[in-house]
Amino acid sequence: MAARRVASWQGPKLGHYVLLWTVLFTAHCRAFTVRQTSDGGVDVLLDGTLLLRHQRSDPAILVGSGTTVFRELHGNFNISDTVGLRVPLPDVDVTQPSPSEYRLLFSSGGNYQTEMTLMTGNEGHDHVMNISIPGNLDRTWLRLYADDGEHVYGGGEQFTYFDLRGRSFPIWTREQGVGRQPGTFVTDEANRRDGGGGDYHTTYWPQPTFVSSRRYFCHFTTTDYMIMDFTDTTAHVMQIWGSPGVVHFGAAATFPELSEQLGALLGKQPELPDWVYDGAILGVQGGTSEVLRYLEQAEGQGVKVNALWIQDWAGRIRTSFGRRLFWNWVWDENQYPGLREEIVRQKERGVRFLGYINPHLNKLGNLYAIADSRGYFVKNSTGQTYIQDFGEFFCGTIDLTNPAAFQWYKNEVIIKNMIELGLSGWMADFGEYLPPDMVFYNGVPGREMHNHYPALWAKANRDAVEESGKLGEIVFWMRAGFSGSQNYSVMSWAGDQFVDYSLGDGLASVIPAALSLGVSGYGLSHFDIGGFTSLFGITRTEELLLRYAEMAVFTPMMRTHEGNRPADNWQVYSSDSTLQHFARLVDVHVSLTGYIRELVQNNSRYNLPVQSPLFYHYPDDPMVYSIKYQYMFGPDVLIAPVYREGVDTWQVYLPQGHTWVHLWSDNSYEGGRTVTVDAPLGQTPFFFRESSRWASLFRTVARDNPPVSGTSLSSSILPYVTAIVAIPLFFWFRQH
């Protein structure tokens, strides 16, 4: 704005002076201010927002040291910590070396001292807090000011709680866990099995970033272990291991502006390839003829398939968890004969092939032998390849901090074996299993590399795609993530949900996951249609599969997964009727292409997440701040996925101040209340604002895609049909 004014400068006018004062005044406000308070304390504000309140009786900084022990098994970590020293620093001395910089020296009777620098740089756009603690200490408690009614969101991808207030969140990438709710059958069984049950905070993508309802964000640049504790009523207590380093803050009038600032800081995601919107990605496996048979079957029932995702392109092994892939990323020509030609043939008719990779190599494969002989793996304390048990098979982890190893994996494995084979994308799995006693080429301690590794893994994939000139053609999707993934990963997925309706690990959990990841600066996500993990005799039903599918319609990318035990679980191809339901859902998705593409563009341009929380667009409605199972699919569209079994109506809260139209019935509702609508299978509650410029598209989509006749499910109507037929027959027989 200011730059444009300068360009058209034709001498000062009154308006220009007003503008100049406005700019100066705004620039002044968009900086830290430090106010000394009467009790010998200080308040730190940004843009008028109180960030930190230091009082002698309640110091904002404590320092200390402690011992932390990490135990890892199958990507699950037990972390035990003993604090040896914890010293509050009540004294503070403030200096201001320049108008844009403050120095705060915190101390405790001269024994311990810590310097905090507050700087505003980059023309008032970058607000940095830099904390340095004495070298012999390794722990900092930073107490940020907290308000009574304040809500806090983000923390990376959080599956259980969207508003983080009232809970504590360790920042450590790991398996999200099976069940994720101690005390439930699935979680307790998973814990008995290998300690893999998880909890509300366990996640593949934690991130030390949060957004407050007081309209500021806070981002820690450390990659070391840390805990964001929001349980205190007067302070957000950030416990940082190692050097606390640099913390970024930003304040803005609106939440989308905060997102934009985070995008400038962390990087943004590119747009998706156009083919992604053309249909659904079918997750199938078993060999060339097998997957083509699935394709024919799906297309025969009218399903628009844009890609076959064959995760077993490199072959398979068998374990007690189910069929596992052979982690040796080379085309298995025995299982997939003629694949290279088939990829070309299918691409001509609009069906791509996608594969799978992760940063580990199975000891039994030829790639392992090469990497091992060249020293490309992460090492253990005795300088040998660090071997990990991945569940009845053993692997090394590629050391992406070693430039030669990085190049080799990118060029010889990803580019040569996958891109040159013709694959248009892949799941870039794992990245969370690295124990802190691993020894890296770059000399950075394993504890600091652990969280950073997923971003490096994303960069290896991204570089391979870019160097092949295939950005905009190839899509890879990742579950592990951390700060930095924003700039490299091109799509995320929610990982391995359990095949049930549990809030901890079931269908519902992917909604807060997408929202918290969006708030943390990563606005593209999707999930396995049907969920993934099936254990302890619990299997996926047709209803669960279709509820997942209907929710996926309103995300940027639809992709099915057969799960860890394909034969035991209901599949999209299990019946023609399922395929017909699925075909209609894919049609709805495809007919929204123009709209979804624009949402994805807005994420690329403005870092506005494709799925965003209600408060992003309706901040004046106090009710929306605690909603975690509904989302905005663009400012005008509200989606309230059905996440319970056996229901056909659903309650939805509509933001106040607007009139909302229910897509499937065309009924209008005034916002500011909860309404109940019909929500049979295939009709995810979808509301659009009456005034939306997309209203006619939405109405056309609804009109052109009526529910599939005989909407009820074969599996769930069977008892009723049986009853309806059997009961009269019973009486008829009795009477005759």
Ligand X SMILES: *[C@@H]1O[C@H](CO)[C@@H](O)[C@H](O)[C@H]1NC(C)=O
Residues marked as catalytic: 429, 432, 496
CA distance 130 to 118: 7
Q: Does 381 bind ligand X (CB under 6 A)?
A: yes
Applying CB under 6 A, the span of 126-134, 139-147, 148-156, 290-298 interacting with ligand X comes to 126-134
For ligand X, give the closer residue by CB, 388 or 578: 388
The residue within the footprint of ligand X, chosen from 108, 113, 130, 575 (CB under 6 A), is 130
Given a contact cutoff of 8 angstroms between Cβ atoms, the answer to whether 68 and 446 are in contact is no
- Verify binding: residue 375, ligand X, rule CB under 6 A: no
Q: Which window, 124-132, 139-147, 704-712, 726-734, contacts ligand X (CB under 6 A)? A: 124-132
Q: Closest distance between ligand X and the C-beta of residue 693, in Å?
A: 7
Residues 449-508 that bind ligand X (CB under 6 A): 487
Using the contact rule CB under 6 A, the part of the chain among 73-81, 87-95, 203-211, 718-726 near ligand X is: 73-81
Per the structure block, which two tokens stand in for 273? Answer: 């390839």
Backbone phi, psi, residue 397, to 5°: -115, 125
> Is the Cβ of residue 8 or residue 382 nearer to ligand X in the bound state?
382
384 is an interface residue for ligand X by CB under 6 A: yes
Contact track, ligand X, 43-72, x by CB under 6 A: ----------------------------xx
Q: Order across the sheet with 112-121: list the strands.
A: 91-98, 101-108, 112-121, 126-132, 245-251, 216-220, 206-212, 152-156
- Residue among 346 and 402 whose Cβ is closer to ligand X: 402
Binding letters toward ligand X, positions 189-208, x by CB under 6 A: --x---x-------------
CB of 195 to ligand X, least distance (A): 3
Task: Output the smallest distance, CB 665 to ligand X, in A.
Answer: 23
Give the 3-state secondary structure of residue 372.
helix
Question: Which of the 8 DSSP states describes residue 414?
Answer: I
Selected binder of ligand X within 230, 595, 643, 653 (CB under 6 A): 595
Select 78 or 289, whichever has its Cβ closest to ligand X: 78
Shortest distance (Å) from residue 639 CB to ligand X:
14
Nearer to ligand X, 560 or 612 (CB): 612
Nearer to ligand X, 71 or 644 (CB): 71
CA distance 434 to 701: 46
First to last CA, the chain: 89
> Which residues pair with residue 115 across a beta bridge?
105, 132
Which one of the spans 44-52, 328-336, 593-601, 670-678 is the region binding ligand X (CB under 6 A)?
Answer: 593-601
Q: Is the CB of residue 97 less than 8 Å from the CB of residue 103?
A: yes
**Of the candidate residues 387, 538, 623, 695, the single one contacting ligand X (CB under 6 A):** 387
Q: Give the three-class secondary structure for 590.
A: helix
Lookup: tokens for 232:
């205190």
Q: Is residue 445 a contact point for ligand X (CB under 6 A)?
A: no
3-state secondary structure 501-551: CCCCCCHHHHHHHHHHHHHCCCCCEECCECCCECCCCCCCCHHHHHHHHHH
What residues between 419 and 438 interact with ligand X by CB under 6 A? none
Strand 280-283 vs strand 305-309: parallel, antiparallel, or unpaired?
parallel
Nearer to ligand X, 303 or 599 (CB): 599
Does an H or E element contain 103, and which? strand 101-108
Residue number, 190 or 427, with CB nearest to ligand X? 190
Residue whose CB is less far from ligand X, 10 or 382: 382
Q: Single out the residue of 382, 696, 709, 735 in contact with ligand X (rule: CB under 6 A).
A: 382
* Minimum separation from the CB atom of position 115 to ligand X (A): 7
- Cβ-in-10-Å burial (0-12, 13-18, 19+) of 722 comes to exposed
Give the nearest distance from C-beta 574 to ligand X in angstroms.
35
Smallest gap from residue 445 Cβ to ligand X (A): 16
Per CB under 6 A, 398 contacts ligand X: no
- How many residues of this chain bind ligand X (CB under 6 A)? 26
- Minimum Å distance from CB 348 to ligand X? 32
Contact pattern from residue 619 through residue 658 relative to ligand X, giving x for each residue in contact according to CB under 6 A and a dash for the rest: ---------------xx-----------------------
**CA separation, residue 65 to residues 60, 140, 168, 235 (Å):** 17, 8, 20, 21
The residue number with the shortest CB distance to ligand X is: 195
User: Considering beta carbons, is residue 263 or 355 the nearer one to ligand X?
Assistant: 263
Q: Please say whether the beta carbons of 458 and 485 come within 8 A.
A: yes
Chosen residue from 26, 67, 78, 254 binding ligand X by CB under 6 A: 78
Residue 319 CA to residue 327 CA, distance in Å, equals 13
Task: Provide, rounded to whole angstroms, the least separation between the CB of residue 120 and ligand X.
Answer: 12
Q: Determine if 380 is a binding residue for ligand X (CB under 6 A).
A: yes
**Listed ranges 28-36, 43-51, 332-340, 592-600: which one lies at the site for ligand X (CB under 6 A):** 592-600
**Quick one: which of 599, 640, 654, 681 contacts ligand X (CB under 6 A)?**
599
DSSP 698-718: HHHHHHHSPPPSS-S-HHHHH
Residue 209 lies near ligand X (rule: CB under 6 A):
no
Residues 621, 301: Cα–Cα separation, whole Å: 44
| Phi-psi label, residue 530: left if phi above 0, alpha if psi -120 to 50, beta otherwise | left
- Minimum CB separation of residue 159 from ligand X in Å reads 20
**Site mask, ligand X, residues 681-710, x = CB under 6 A?**
------------------------------
Residue of 706, 731, 699, 311 whose CA lies nearest to 493: 311
Tokens 């895609």 correspond to what residue? Answer: 705
3-state DSSP call for residue 51? strand
> Which residues lie below 8 Å from residue 162, measured CB to CB, with a gap of 6+?
153, 512, 515, 516, 613, 628
| Chain residues 83-112 in contact with ligand X, contact rule CB under 6 A | none
Minimum distance from residue 280 beta carbon to ligand X (Å): 21
Residues 6+ apart with CB under 8 A from 211: 152, 153, 154, 217, 255, 258, 519, 520
- Report the alpha-carbon angle 619-623-624, nearest 5: 55
C-alpha closest to that of 657 among 708, 686, 626, 622: 622
Minimum CB separation of residue 435 from ligand X in Å reads: 10
If the CB atoms of residues 133 and 583 are measured against ligand X, the closer one turns out to be: 133
Given 27, 29, 50, 73, the residue binding ligand X (CB under 6 A): 73
The DSSP secondary-structure symbol of 555 reads S
Select 676 or 691, whichever has its Cβ closest to ligand X. 691
591 contributes a contact to ligand X by CB under 6 A: no
Site track 240-269 with ligand X (rule: CB under 6 A), x = hit: ------x-------------------xx--
The dihedral over CA atoms of 19, 24, 26, 29, expressed in degrees to the nearest 10, equals: -160
- Is residue 696 within 8 Å of 690, Cβ to Cβ? no
Residue type for 515, please? L
Q: How far is the CB of 51 from ligand X (least distance, A)?
A: 18
Of 147, 296, 389, 598, the one binding ligand X by CB under 6 A:
598
Nearer to ligand X, 492 or 560 (CB): 492
Q: What are phi and psi of 548, to 5 degrees?
A: -60, -45
Interface positions with ligand X (CB under 6 A): 71-73, 76, 78, 128, 130, 132, 191, 195, 246, 266-267, 380-382, 384-385, 387, 487, 595, 598-599, 602, 634-635
